[in-house]
Amino acid sequence: MPYHRGGDASSQADKLSGIVEESDLYEGFAPHVETSGIKTLDFYNLPKPTGKEPALRSYTEIQQLLQQGKKRDVKNILRENSWPINSPIRSQLWPMLCGQHQTKEHMLDGFYWEMVHQVFGTTELSEKPIMLPAFVDATHCLPYHLTSTGRAVADRIVNVLGYDCPDITYSPVLYPITSILLHFMSEEEAYVCLAGLVGSKEKVFINQTKLQHEVTWKTVMQIAKKHTKSATSYFQRICPGLKLERVFMDWCWWILAGLPFQHLVRIMDCYFHEGIKVLYRVALVILNLFHKECQSNNEWSPDNIKNDIGNALIKFCKKIPVSPAKLLHAAFSIRGLSTQYISRIFIKTEMLLKSRSVLTSGSKQLIKSRSSDNLPTSQSQVNIQMMSHTLTIRELFTLWSWLPVRITMYQPVLLYTTEEHGCSLTTFYVRVEQHEPTLLMIKTCNNEVFGAYCSSRWFERNVKDDKGQRQAYFGTGETFLFSLYPERAKYPWVGIEGDKDLGHSSELFMAADSKMITIGGGEGQAIWMDENIRFGKTDSCKTFNNPPLCPSGDFEIRVLEVYGFVGI
């Protein structure tokens, strides 16, 4: 059962968040941690404190900022406050940061222990080894400083999470993250934190399929080619026969298996708030630092590393020559690495992999997850056939192959149809606007069938900018158009084709108000419908570089159907 700290944990965390005086040096760690191997003092030749440094912020201060919705202020505090590795603040700070991403309503007190009893038949910790779920990478079950009991607890948490989240098919970083959490909190708290990270909709924290894993490391590689160009060119030059893919496949282990625990804990302070982009930034700094050391330190000379750069990188990380504070400062000083830019690279990479049937024969073979087959399940077929007035089974298979792979794991549900709910834009918004993503299909009176995959909620038509003005267009580059009859074609966002700036007219994904709905813009609107959902028009547009989706351009709507996906 979980342990509980005595006294007021909040006041204790606040009191000790920034100082270590006469208290137990290991007071900040959980009981299942072997503290003797943890270095509590910085082992670099750093300037001695002058006494003028600003005081470290407390848990209560950060909690108040989060409650006020000041996430940017919290982000800056987490980046700048180097709490000692043994600070008790993390026992409350990390659960609070992870909790803000929680989407499951059933995560009530005692839920975890009910799940433990359901899976194992008891809440007592078994002395026998537990078989880990298939999604765990057995070669990277990193315990860090957990005791044997702590490792057994980590095994149990991962098993329960696998039972509760059957859609996780491949997640090698999940076990190390579990271990790190357990250094500062109880078993139940660690599980709740993981559930929040896994279930997050706004930000990505933990990849959960083989495809996501591959898309992520290829995204890091593409970003590195642009932002650490000298380093990647250097490694390619000294090892002409080396495929960079072999190096970047292990990018996350530079951080999780290589860096000293002090560095890792400070990175997690930021990661639990900002998401995986923090790890992207740290990986780029590691590459740059390693490149510099290769040019000045004989230990990392070309002759010594050319046969195994990947292993050399991890060895370098173990004795990285900068402090945690300097590492993070360098990571967050990288310019031009916005969330939007990363998302664009990620989506482009995912689409390329899908078009190449997930993998080419020359790279490491991935075992396909249930979702990477990208075919509708029998239940999905039944659901749509029973509900749809527009789709044949052949058209369903075609459309399903165009969806983002992660979406194909969910069951479709009919949110709105003019056949049942009438022809009213007001009703459309009431039934559809809170769902993300949605699949919109139109059948015209001439029997043409076309539509759009809409990546964002239609409710975003109401979102206002900093000046209080409603944004005209919203959505992301995952949005695409399609035609099913008489022509079959998919029209993705033009920005998928490259990283160059195509201008504002290429990012006009979705727009809506009380009078109309528009998808695609720039010298024309790909789909436009009136407030009565009766008449519409279609033109070519710059956002998707599509032809008109029906020959006449103008159309009368026979049926409009909008689908959502259960469980997203």
Q: Is 216 a domain residue?
A: yes
Count the domains in the chain. 3
Give per-residue pLDDT as tens, 173-195.
999 999 999 999 999 999 999 99
The reply to whether 164 and 105 lie within a common domain is: yes
Q: Is 205 a domain residue?
A: no
Tell me the C-alpha distance between 337 and 279, whole Å: 12
Domain extent at residue 401: 378-495+505-566
pLDDT at 282 over 50: yes
The reply to whether 81 and 147 lie within a common domain is: yes
CA angle, 295 then 300 then 305, to 5°: 120
Over residues 288-308, the mean pLDDT reads: 82
The reply to whether 531 and 390 lie within a common domain is: yes
Tell me the C-alpha distance between 279 and 272, whole Å: 11
Over residues 512-537, the mean pLDDT reads: 93
Q: Is 359 a domain residue?
A: no
More confident residue, 47 or 545: 545
- In this prediction, residue 333 has a pLDDT band, given cuts at 50, 70 and 90, of very high
Tell me, what's the pLDDT at 17?
35
Give per-residue pLDDT as tens, 335-365.
988 888 888 888 778 767 765 543 333 333 3
Last residue of a domain, one of 175, 199, 223: 199
Tell me, what's the pLDDT at 365?
34
Tell me, what's the pLDDT at 20?
32
The reply to whether 336 and 385 lie within a common domain is: no
Tell me, what's the pLDDT at 198?
92
End-to-end CA distance of the chain: 31
At 451, which helix (H) or strand (E)? strand 449-454
Tell me the C-alpha distance between 383 and 362, whole Å: 39
Over residues 521-545, the mean pLDDT reads: 93
The reply to whether 160 and 221 lie within a common domain is: no
Last residue of a domain, one of 199, 219, 242: 199
Percent of the chain with pLDDT over 90: 50
Tell me the C-alpha distance between 118 and 127, whole Å: 18
Q: Angle of helix 71-80 relative to helix 261-274, nearest 10 degrees?
A: 170
Over residues 83-94, the mean pLDDT reads: 93
The first and second tokens of residue 474, run together, are 């919203």
Tell me, what's the pLDDT at 380?
60
The reply to whether 349 and 239 lie within a common domain is: yes
The reply to whether 88 and 194 lie within a common domain is: yes
Dihedral Cα 548, 552, 553, 555, nearest 10 deg: -120
The first and second tokens of residue 358, run together, are 């997930």
Q: Is 88 a domain residue?
A: yes
Full-prediction pTM beyond 0.85?
no
- In this prediction, residue 254 has a pLDDT band, given cuts at 50, 70 and 90, of very high
The reply to whether 461 and 536 lie within a common domain is: yes
Q: Is 42 a domain residue?
A: no
Last residue of a domain, one of 354, 386, 411: 354
The reply to whether 192 and 262 lie within a common domain is: no
Distance of CA 269 to the CA centre of its chain: 17
CA angle, 540 then 545 then 550, to 5°: 40
The reply to whether 222 and 349 lie within a common domain is: yes
CATH number of 269's domain: 1.10.472.80
Tell me, what's the pLDDT at 368?
32
Q: Is 336 a domain residue?
A: yes
The reply to whether 434 and 554 lie within a common domain is: yes
The first and second tokens of residue 248, run together, are 């970047």
Q: Is 549 a domain residue?
A: yes
Percent of the chain with pLDDT over 70: 81
DSSP codes of every residue in 431-444: HHTT-SSEEEEEEE
- In this prediction, residue 74 has a pLDDT band, given cuts at 50, 70 and 90, of very high
Tell me the C-alpha distance between 216 and 220, whole Å: 6
Other CB atoms closer than 10 Å to residue 128's CB: what's the count?
6
At 557, which helix (H) or strand (E)? strand 554-566
Contact residues for 305 (Cβ-Cβ < 8 A; gap 6+): 238, 294, 312
Tell me, what's the pLDDT at 79?
96
Tell me, what's the pLDDT at 468?
66
Report the mean per-residue pLDDT for the chain: 83
The reply to whether 345 and 383 lie within a common domain is: no
Q: Is 175 a domain residue?
A: yes
Helix (H), strand (E), coil (C) string for 161-187 = HHHHCCCCCCCCCHHHHHHHHHCCCCH
- In this prediction, residue 545 has a pLDDT band, given cuts at 50, 70 and 90, of very high
Tell me, what's the pLDDT at 466?
63
